[in-house]
Structure 1
């Protein structure tokens, strides 16, 4: 029986489906851990395949490849280096399970399965996995480790079972995605488990972007008195070797390493940067191209892109029409200068004139309306897609959640593209985050220190500039009112009566509710984007397109 143990927390960024690449990454983390004297390396949830694998794990050949990878990594431990708590999908007889294995001395010496399969929000593991039985401890060097996989920590019975069957410390491999309202929920649940079991807990979370999800890391260790001894950095890969000592019949972490997680706006911005960075890089795009209009949404999107990818991989295009103001031209040019990006200009008036001519015999006798406005937006979308096709860079769309909620966006126009960093960020938050980024920087960002957009972009009244003297508030309520109603409808699922009781005008609530519902068909055709809130459009919120319900009481 040992009285000391070195456990490495591998806060790693796997690529979903890249089994060979993930094996290589595991080797690199293990080598680094071995150099620091670690005896055990703990990896995040479903590391071999990446998380969440969704229906990919229903493909038998994929699961077999993951199982083969687990065996290969087990063989690696014949070298006398550290053991691994490795995770992946594995068959248990006829059942496919979310699995953690102890790899040591060249073999898989223990296997445990996830008991609690989440089926809410972005999670639907119960669709593809079978829950495992309540686990017992895993012996390692005379230490009885109680291993819970992610969701297992959020309920008391798994930890209780482990404690009652002799576990001496709890270890939790995680794939827990970020949202800005989650706050300290993970830490709070861990504290509850520690209080109930009087056992220390090691929590290892994934880092990186996977489609719309972003995993923020932030791995931590709590001692049995709930003292936070370790708080790892968010938003970056990291490895930390922790020292453990037996104190009587208890284990304690002797390592103290605390990194501040940062404020709310900083976390939101980092989530967008990491989400875009991994979406572009993991899918092999050389960079992004976007329309830079001189407005706040495109400026913020460009800033995120430069911080994620570097200025040389971001191509900005100004596409002025007869309604584009000199102020917008100047602001776009200054924004590109501050960011150091390439800025090209493509005049869309020739295409507008062409469409006017093409459609004149059909539109004769009608007045210009939103049709002509949308044609301008679609010409810009077509222009960006042409540039993307020619040079390979992905089109980055720039719409925010307020616009996506109300349909204040043109399908096949400003909605066309491959990814959207602002898709889950309300307009009022865009203002706040832009102010924050203009005053802040980070060694995680590839963009410039200090201001990334002119202050005028943030403070001037928002406008689409698709007709003379147009302002967003011609079509929408003021954003501070609109966003409050939208948050109540979307994140809180509040009724009409509850929202009115909170102080909002009833007619306005009905109007916004109707805009939200009728725009569902547009959102189904929108690109994916970084999940920021508790209810992003996509897997979080799945409303029908055909929907006759309107809450009026």
Structure 2
């Protein structure tokens, strides 16, 4: 369970209606299977010890006594198994019959969670046999021992106190106020559901959406184990539709109409991180629910869940296209408001022929269209200097003209050379002074052109550059509105690609495709044989790695060692472990060291869940120390 990963399972056993002995054997068989897979939390369906579809057989003492014996046998069977198991069964208490989920751990019966909402409509008639559970949990005598009995019992792992589990049963989650809400408000981070939900047309989609929605609403993990083949088909069919979700996302889902076991890992620390950040998720101060401890060995969890290597970019093409259109619209609408509010007569964009400035120009054109302004009011400024190549220069010029912007060329080499003389810098010394002098000169040119034209400078820098501090302070770092400020580099590429794919101008499309093929570079050092000599990713590392690190560090608060662990999974076959480690260390160091640049960023629109605005999502001291994060990397086992 290192890094908060807990392996879990939802298991649908083969059963025979009312054949408790057979069902018990099948449940024990799956307990053995899940134990071999090292699952720590295993959930079985509703009333699976007897079968859900027993009907009035639930009134027979023999069936109820056999169910108790079956549970005792299952409990004994778990004596040498490291995990907590939830099994559905009928339980008679004080002359009433209840539908419960029994929790078993290391040979002991920990508690019985009662079903709160009994369906009595359509094909369901549970009130004929069962009583709704009590309002509060109490202790009952079972097999000579006092066992917790009632709703919303919280099971707490002694060795991992953050792992708090609560159970609910089938209809409970379909109700207007599921019991899991109160359980989550008192600390439950994992909800399990022993269910018997039959199959009708369209119900599987609704069921999946329901479980995803509840896990999102409660910021929790949700394990849903459903009854399957073996239940009576007198009137209905059960499909064994098992689902495991985490904060709105399905991590694993079983094939319907096949009894199966599904596995995945729930990230408890990720969920707790989400809860800490979400101020509307409030734990109750006056805790009333019964808490029951259980034992679980702490060990390494082998990961089977996948981590997408480009978390900012949707993997499915259709969704990616929709996302790109939405982001371009958000960017353009943000700029539209700013242009209108300032009564700007023009917008000035420094255009280099690279990806970021290309995206900024495309967004500006879209904003002008939305305002009904002529695109000639956009001044696209190209400022060739020592590192400019013909390829980027030509692309910048052609693109500006095709988009209808006013192209303005301002060579800055002479100005920079004069500046070198003024400050006494040797032009042959290609140090940071050599590079930053060009960047700051370009910003001065843009600002002054904007002043002269009654306009504003549109920032081009992206979020990945801001995370790394890959910007010249008071150079390209500064603008009057930064349209790309919350767009990561891996997404910038897809936005430009989407625009190229959807524009109707073939020539513009070809220009944009060539921009996409051009290496990322600030072009501040002289080219070699006419080609770009300064490639950003050779200096700071691959942006797909840095965007991955940025996403998991900011979105979920992962520590570097955990990021390294999942990055190895995500980039297997693409980057070796040494490379992943090297650039992760670089990322951590640069992220802390360069915060001062982010502390004074221009305004810009937020487009996603991760952003670095010092006024909104990320407020960090500029002199915070990175030592703890680097130590976490150095001390990895």
Taking the aligned partners of 2:364 and 2:503, their CA distance within structure 1 comes to 14
**Mapped pair 1:524 → 2:524:** no
Name the structure 1 match of 2:25: none
After TM superposition, give the deviation of residue 452 of structure 1 in Å: 8.9
Name the structure 2 match of 1:316: 380
Matched length: 300
**Mapped pair 1:540 → 2:617:** yes
**Mapped pair 1:482 → 2:546:** yes
Of residues 515, 518, 525 in structure 2, which corresponds to 1:467?
Answer: 525
Taking the aligned partners of 1:440 and 1:262, their CA distance within structure 2 comes to 10
Taking the aligned partners of 2:562 and 2:497, their CA distance within structure 1 comes to 32
Given the superposition, is the C-alpha separation of residues 492 and 261 from structure 1 closer, same or farther in structure 2, using an over 3 Å criterion? closer
**Mapped pair 1:266 → 2:328:** no
**Mapped pair 1:494 → 2:558:** yes
Of residues 327, 348, 351 in structure 2, which corresponds to 1:289?
Answer: 348
Name the structure 2 match of 1:429: 491
The CA deviation string for residues 304-335 of structure 1, in whole angstroms up to 9 with x for no partner, is: 10011141231100000122111111100111
The CA deviation string for residues 327-373 of structure 1, in whole angstroms up to 9 with x for no partner, is: 1111001111221111110010111111111122xx46994301110
Given the superposition, is the C-alpha separation of residues 415 and 192 from structure 1 closer, same or farther in structure 2, using an over 3 Å criterion? closer
Given the superposition, is the C-alpha separation of residues 479 and 261 from structure 1 closer, same or farther in structure 2, using an over 3 Å criterion? closer
Taking the aligned partners of 1:305 and 1:380, their CA distance within structure 2 comes to 19
SS in 2 for 1:451: helix
Taking the aligned partners of 2:342 and 2:427, their CA distance within structure 1 comes to 49
Check whether the contact 1:295–1:457 (CA below 8 A) recurs between aligned residues: yes
After TM superposition, give the deviation of residue 441 of structure 1 in Å: 5.7
**Mapped pair 1:354 → 2:403:** no
Map 1:44-443 onto structure 2 (within 5 A): 263-310=322-369, 311-360=375-424, 363=425, 367-440=429-502
Taking the aligned partners of 1:343 and 1:449, their CA distance within structure 2 comes to 17
Given the superposition, is the C-alpha separation of residues 452 and 437 from structure 1 closer, same or farther in structure 2, using an over 3 Å criterion? farther
Check whether the contact 2:551–2:610 (CA below 8 A) recurs between aligned residues: no
Check whether the contact 1:428–1:479 (CA below 8 A) recurs between aligned residues: yes
Given the superposition, is the C-alpha separation of residues 377 and 450 from structure 1 closer, same or farther in structure 2, using an over 3 Å criterion? closer
Map 1:503-522 onto structure 2 (within 5 A): 503=568, 505-522=580-597
Given the superposition, is the C-alpha separation of residues 364 and 457 from structure 1 closer, same or farther in structure 2, using an over 3 Å criterion? closer
After TM superposition, give the deviation of residue 450 of structure 1 in Å: 7.4
Given the superposition, is the C-alpha separation of residues 359 and 451 from structure 1 closer, same or farther in structure 2, using an over 3 Å criterion? same
The CA deviation string for residues 248-306 of structure 1, in whole angstroms up to 9 with x for no partner, is: xxxxxxxxxxxx99721221111111111112112322231011111111111101100
Name the structure 1 match of 2:513: 455
Show structure 2 runs of 5+ residues with no match.
1-179, 183-208, 219-318, 370-374, 527-532, 569-576, 633-637
SS in 1 for 2:479: coil
Taking the aligned partners of 2:321 and 2:523, their CA distance within structure 1 comes to 37
Where do 4+ consecutive residues of structure 1 move more than 6 Å? 447-450
The CA deviation string for residues 197-226 of structure 1, in whole angstroms up to 9 with x for no partner, is: xxxxxxxxxxxxxxxxxxxxxxxxxxxxxx
Given the superposition, is the C-alpha separation of residues 339 and 549 from structure 1 closer, same or farther in structure 2, using an over 3 Å criterion? same
Given the superposition, is the C-alpha separation of residues 534 and 520 from structure 1 closer, same or farther in structure 2, using an over 3 Å criterion? same
Given the superposition, is the C-alpha separation of residues 512 and 391 from structure 1 closer, same or farther in structure 2, using an over 3 Å criterion? same
TM-score by length of 1: 0.50
TM-score by length of 2: 0.44
Given the superposition, is the C-alpha separation of residues 192 and 494 from structure 1 closer, same or farther in structure 2, using an over 3 Å criterion? closer
Name the structure 1 match of 2:279: none
Check whether the contact 2:440–2:475 (CA below 8 A) recurs between aligned residues: yes
SS in 2 for 1:454: helix
After TM superposition, give the deviation of residue 380 of structure 1 in Å: 0.2
SS in 1 for 2:624: coil
Check whether the contact 1:464–1:470 (CA below 8 A) recurs between aligned residues: yes
Check whether the contact 2:497–2:512 (CA below 8 A) recurs between aligned residues: no
Taking the aligned partners of 2:344 and 2:181, their CA distance within structure 1 comes to 44
After TM superposition, give the deviation of residue 440 of structure 1 in Å: 2.1
RMSD: 3.1
Check whether the contact 2:420–2:426 (CA below 8 A) recurs between aligned residues: no
The CA deviation string for residues 109-141 of structure 1, in whole angstroms up to 9 with x for no partner, is: xxxxxxxxxxxxxxxxxxxxxxxxxxxxxxxxx
Given the superposition, is the C-alpha separation of residues 337 and 450 from structure 1 closer, same or farther in structure 2, using an over 3 Å criterion? closer
After TM superposition, give the deviation of residue 192 of structure 1 in Å: 8.2
Show structure 1 runs of 5+ residues with no match.
1-154, 158-183, 194-259
After TM superposition, give the deviation of residue 520 of structure 1 in Å: 0.8
The CA deviation string for residues 117-170 of structure 1, in whole angstroms up to 9 with x for no partner, is: xxxxxxxxxxxxxxxxxxxxxxxxxxxxxxxxxxxxxx989xxxxxxxxxxxxx
SS in 2 for 1:475: helix
Check whether the contact 2:486–2:606 (CA below 8 A) recurs between aligned residues: yes
Larger-gyration structure (1/2): 2
Given the superposition, is the C-alpha separation of residues 448 and 523 from structure 1 closer, same or farther in structure 2, using an over 3 Å criterion? farther
